[in-house]
Amino acid sequence: MWHAPLFQLAKCVHLTEVYHFHDMIEMLVNCGYKKGTTLFGYGYDFRQSNRVGNSMETAYEASGKRKVNIITHSMGGLLVSCFMSLYKDVFSMFVNKWICIGCPFQGAPGCINDSILTGLQFVEGFENYFFVSRWTMHQLLLECPSIYEMLPNPAFKWERDPQIQVWRKQSNDDDTSIQAESYGLLESISLFEEALKNNEASKSLLFPNISFRPLPLVRIILTQTSLLQLTYGGNAIPLPFNMSILKWATETRKILNDVQLPEGVSFYNIYGTSCDTPFDVCYGSETSPVDELSEVCHVTPQYSYVDGDGTVPAESAKADGYAAVERVGIPGEHRALLRDDKVFQLIKKWLGIEQNVSKRSRTVKVMDSHVYI
């Protein structure tokens, strides 16, 4: 949850890593769109499943019953894909064009696998203070259906299947050896179960009610405290790999694998390239192996990389499965694509925005209403 003064600070100083859509909104407003009339934002809880209810009608009605154009970023593309599959007739009725940016259509192997095992650090540097810590995020993500839904798709024909590798001591009688264990797309589930079977929820000893990352001075204090085990009724709260959520996510993946683009809807895909993007993950090393798989959760991961936007491999992001009008790779980082001039130029082109600029006047023609997700 955001603390209001911190949110206002992020907005005022324009912290790009936490105020993602600001530049795109400004660009669209400058092109003639009006907030609440022809420009709408659809906020959603990233922790929840990508299976959502009907949310298009408000924008459709407010725009005078004109079909809307949708721009999605990242998980927003999965959310729209699920919506399109579950409410195909509604989608066809309300939507004219869909522009997708940086969507993990087939998953984000390196980032998601590691998120489940050790957590996630969104950003580095000063802007990191506006996010929860890696370990706190780890505890949160284990209960997020959306994370399980972004695991690498085992039905997709990867150029090379993503792997998780663990260097581990193996003891047999008096003989001890060190071996690298590899886990593929399906075998990784057993790793998640074993590594997290004794995981328990915990929180910092200080400031137990703070749900946002504290300011620097406070953070220094927190990093020097121990963790306090959370209990309920005197019992520790277990937080293992959640097989019930995995079952739900498996059904979501089936929906995503079967979805089809309705006739009359134009689809455009922008995916990020030229950034080292985690694909395989390795824990431990030949010189520093782990004894038990539970230790993996406290080991710094080592990645092997592929081309992508730093979060989503290009291989996954461009494998939408739809008959795209255009599919374009843009060099750029996952969130930076939302403020990239080349991306803006493509959006203007695809939305059919006509601009005539003269010394005295500037005329802008907006074709349809627009929703960003």
φ/ψ of 132, rounded to 5, equals -70, 160
**Catalytic site includes residue 309:** yes
Q: Which residues make Cβ contacts (< 8 Å) with residue 300, sequence separation at least 6? A: 118
Taking the C-alpha atoms of residue 329 and residue 273, their distance in angstroms, rounded to an integer, is: 6
Could you write out the three-class secondary structure of 290-310? ECCHHHHHHCCCEEEEEEEEC
Residue bearing tokens 């890593």: 17
Catalytic site residue from 114, 309, 320, 340:
309
Q: Chain centroid to CA 230: how far?
A: 28
Closest CA to 39 of 345, 346, 351, 343: 351
Catalytic site residue from 49, 63, 73, 74:
74
Measured over the CA atoms of residue 72, residue 76, residue 80 and residue 81, the dihedral's sign is positive
Class of residue 22 by CB neighbours under 10 A (exposed 0-12, middle 13-18, buried 19+): middle
Closest CA to 372 of 52, 12, 74, 84: 74
**Catalytic site includes residue 334:** yes
Closest CA to 275 of 330, 345, 328: 330
Catalytic site residue from 320, 334, 340, 370:
334
CA angle 175, 176, 182 (to 5 degrees): 130
Q: Which residues make Cβ contacts (< 8 Å) with residue 39, sequence separation at least 6? A: 25, 28, 29, 33, 369, 370, 372
Number of neighbouring beta carbons within 10 Å of residue 146: 22
Number of neighbouring beta carbons within 10 Å of residue 27: 18
Catalytic residue IDs: 74, 309, 334
